[in-house]
Structure 1
Amino acid sequence: MNPINYSEYESEHSGDFQTEASLYQKGFDIRLEHARWSCSGTASVEIRNSCLIRLRLPADDFNQGESEHNLGRFSGRGMRHFKPLGQLLFIPHGTEFHLKHGACQQKALICLFDTAALGALAAYHWNWEECANESMLNLQSPYLQASLQRLAEEVAAPGFASELHTECLLTSIALDLRREFLGTQDSGDAAGKLSARQLALVRELVDAGPAEDLSLQRLADICALPVRKLSVYFKNTTGKTLRHYAAQTRMNKAMALLADQRLLIKQVAYQSGFQNAAAFSAAFRKAVGLTPEEFRRQRLG
């Protein structure tokens, strides 16, 4: 992930930013961050290829900064004047954002995410150009606020399969932002790719595991495509064959299950879609380079 490029241009003293906790993976970078400005000033914020959403958090020893301490605007978007920033702030990539602050202190959850690297979201067109507007400076969404509060709790105290849980929350947040600002346009198959809906249906069935009928014919019927076209479109959309994706999904599920010491290796094998423990161990070692037992010892260690 590209870091935030923060530059003060009306003050000699830049902000002091301290990270309390963070969670990083390909596609996202999330931080619980304390910010302190010793004097008032103005800064430009550039986030390159990522989007940023911020939730200001309460803290007993931090002055949350009233509206006069937190102002912002997007450059070149018909916004000549700085507007008060709300508790929820969204900055899409490709925009030039300016922050005006007073001498204050804040605690916030900062989420940087790249929609092109978050699983099923890659199938959508994310064209943020010309959509930035002042409503992004003060998002009024209880749903988004609740989701970001849950993210803050996960970053502060990660639980089982924390990266997967975080990616699911961010996917939901990104889709909600899309509905709000980009409408419901879909990618379609005009370019030889699956639509977002078709891709979601395929992934839902594959991710469901061995209880589902994963025949190519069934997947093709659900997507209303011939079998051959489904295979070609899936690879064009994801860069992977269906077989590769299904195998990778089983391995990811197995690695998550191995973190639970209560499960026997054969139980992990069956729940991951393998017929027996021997076949699972052989496939796991080929994919990961370790036996399931070795992986479990290293992970827990």
Structure 2
Amino acid sequence: MNAINYSEYEPEHSGNFLTEASLKSTGFDIRLEHARWENAGSALIQTHHHSCLIRLMLPSDAGERTQPAGNLGRLCGPASQGFRPLGPLLFIPNGSEFHLKHRACQQKALICVFDPAALATLACYRWNWDGCVDASMLNLQSLYLRAALQRLAEEVAAPGFASELHTESLLTCIALDLRRQFLGIRPCEDGNGKLTPRQMSVLRELLDAGPETALSLQYLANACALPVRKLSSYFKNTTGKTLRRYAAESRVEKAMALLADPQLLVKQVAYQAGFQNPAAFTAAFRKAVGMTPEEFRRQRSG
């Protein structure tokens, strides 16, 4: 796979790899792969650019499913810990280095290298794993992920109708589950009564990406791992504005940028900026800017 480097430290211990089946498209490269090591050894696996790697052990011809005993690994980095036994399901975020120590063994696995941001519905999210790499990634305990990857393995082995679309849908679900597990906000103590930079980033991302009707106060509070009663006060302590005012200003700012495109109708701008209807958009825009969207556009174009 071009998205990863696999470097053996001892060339005489290099493994033999056989690809049984594969699916490849923009944003992902997935393979059913047999690996065989005649001797114990070690290797360094590096992911490139924006690509992540997730691997699920599969039953071998002998019916064995579990990770061969004795295989160890660790994710390298500032928070790196010692070598740990590898589980059947592991995840390596993009830009990471994974150090493998293996015994003489053979195994079959689904190897999936993908870029979450290249999946159309996920392009608006930020996929920065810095500071989130965790040793638990080497032995993921998620029945949901296992089931999704097992279904992905079946699709790779026997592609069906609209296989690429089905594969991208499965990868989207997998990426979202990984995001919730490792990039989601963890509950925190009250501190100084303000939102953390990470919580503010999540709120901005949600407010910029979705229309007003999709974002309830409860939804935003859950995304920040805060009780509803605290979200508004924490937000005002952090920004000096109410959450409602901030959201309204963000939508108007987005609309002002969209109005610069003469090809977009005003009603298209309204919906893309997150307003429920053109009338609500015009009223909010006039209140914030002092003129209607049409007047603003004419002034800018003049």
Tell me, in whole angstroms, the C-alpha distance in 2 between the residues paired with 1:30 and 1:133.
24
Partner of 2:22: 22
1:159 aligned counterpart, secondary structure = coil
User: 2:272 matched to which residue of 1?
Assistant: none
Structure 1 pair 3–235 and aligned structure 2 pair: CA distance change class (3 A): farther
TM-aligned CA distance change 1:6 to 1:78, over 3 Å: same
One-letter code aligned to 1:13: H
Q: Which amino acid aligns with 1:176?
A: D
C-alpha displacement of 1:15 = 1.3
Structure-1 residue corresponding to 2:182: 181
Q: What CA distance in whole angstroms lies between the structure 2 residues aligned with 1:137 and 1:57?
A: 16
- Quote the residue 1:52 is aligned against: 53
Written as runs of structure 1 = structure 2, the 5 A alignment for 1:93-242 is: 93-184=94-185, 195-198=208-211, 229-230=254-255, 232=257
Supply the distance in 1 between the matched residues of 2:8 and 2:179 (Cα, whole angstroms).
Answer: 30
Residue 74 of structure 1: how far off its partner (Å): 1.1
CA distance in 1, matches of 2:264, 2:174: 27
Higher alpha-carbon deviation: 53-62 or 15-24: 53-62
Over 3 Å counting, the alpha-carbon distance change for 1:199 and 1:46 in structure 2 is: farther
Alignment check: 8 A CA contact 1:123 1:195 kept: no
* Shift in Å, 1:63: 5.9
Task: Give the number of the structure whose alpha-carbon radius of gyration is greater.
Answer: 2
Output the amino acid matched with 1:9: Y
- CA separation in 1, counterparts of 2:13 and 2:259? 51
Assess if the C-alpha contact under 8 Å between 2:67 and 2:86 holds in 1.
Answer: no
Partner of residue 278, structure 1: none
Equivalent residue for 1:291?
Answer: none
- Compute the displacement of 1:188 (Å): 5.4
User: For each residue in 1:155-208, what CA deviation from the matched residue of structure 2 results, as whole angstroms up to 9, or x when unmatched?
Assistant: 111111111111111011101001100115565558xx973444997xxxxxxx
Are residues 12 and 111 of structure 1, via their aligned partners in 2, closer, same or farther at CA, if it must alter by over 3 Å?
Answer: same
Opposite residue 47 of structure 2, the aligned amino acid is I
Unaligned runs of 5+ in 2: 186-198, 215-246, 269-302
8 Å CA contact retained: 1:69, 1:101 = yes
Task: Report the CA distance shift for 1:182/1:105 in structure 2 as closer, same or farther (over 3 A).
Answer: same
Q: Give, in whole Å, the separation in 1 of the partners of 2:5 and 2:82.
A: 22
- Matched-pair identity in %: 61
- Mapped partners of 1:18, 1:200: distance in 2: 50
Alpha-carbon distance in structure 2 between the residues aligned to 1:98 and 1:61: 27
Q: In the alignment, is the contact (CA less than 8 A) between 1:13 and 1:38 conserved in 2?
A: yes
User: Is 1:41–1:101's contact at 8 Å kept on the other side of the alignment?
Assistant: yes
What's the counterpart of residue 40 of structure 1?
40
Whether contact under 8 Å (2:132, 2:182) holds in the other structure is yes
Would you say the 8 A contact 2:68–2:105 is kept in 1? Answer: no
Aligned to 2:188: none
* Secondary structure of the structure 2 residue equivalent to 1:195: helix
- CA positional deviation for 1:10: 3.7
User: Matched residues in 1 for 2:202 and 2:125: separation?
Assistant: 6
The whole-number CA distance in structure 2 between the counterparts of 1:120 and 1:187 is 17
Q: How much has 1:28 moved relative to structure 2?
A: 0.7
Change (3 A) 1:82 1:189: closer
**Distance in 1 (alpha carbons) for counterparts of 2:40 and 2:77:** 23
Matched position secondary structure for 2:57: strand
Contact 1:65 1:106 in 2 (8 A): no
- Give RMSD over aligned pairs: 3.3
Tell me the CA shift for residue 133 of structure 1.
1.4
- Kindly state the Cα deviation for residue 127 of structure 1 after the two structures are TM-superposed: 1.0
Aligned to 2:296: none
Q: Which residue of 1 aligns with 2:193?
A: none
How far 1:13 moved relative to its partner?
2.6
Query: Structure 2 CA distance, aligned partners of 1:132 and 1:233?
Result: 37
- Normalising by structure 1, report the TM-score: 0.63
Is the contact between residue 188 and residue 196 of structure 1 (CA under 8 Å) also seen in structure 2? no
